[in-house]
Structure 1
Amino acid sequence: MSTSLTIVHFSTIQRLQEERSSFRPGSENERIADYAIDLCLNPGRTAEDAHHLHRNVRRDAKKHLYRGGQRETQANARALATQGYTRDYADELGYTTSGPSAEDECLAQHSDLCDAAHAFAPMLGPWGPQFLTRLLEGSSIDAAASVVGVSRATGYRAKQRLAAALAPLRPQEAA
Structure 2
Amino acid sequence: MRLIYQLSLGLLLVLLTMSSHAEESVWDKAQVSYFGPSNITVYRSPTCGCCKKWVEHLEKHRFTVKDITSNNMQTLKQQYGVPRELASCHTAIIDGYVIEGHVPADDIKRLLIEKPEIAGLTVPAMPVGTPGMEMGGRKDPFYVLQFNKEGQSKPFNAYRDY
Normalising to structure 1: TM-score of the pair?
A: 0.22
Which structure shows the higher helix fraction?
A: 1
Greater C-alpha radius of gyration: 1
Structure in which a larger fraction of residues adopt strand = 2
Asked which structure has the greater RCO (Cα within 8 Å, sep 6+), the reply is 2
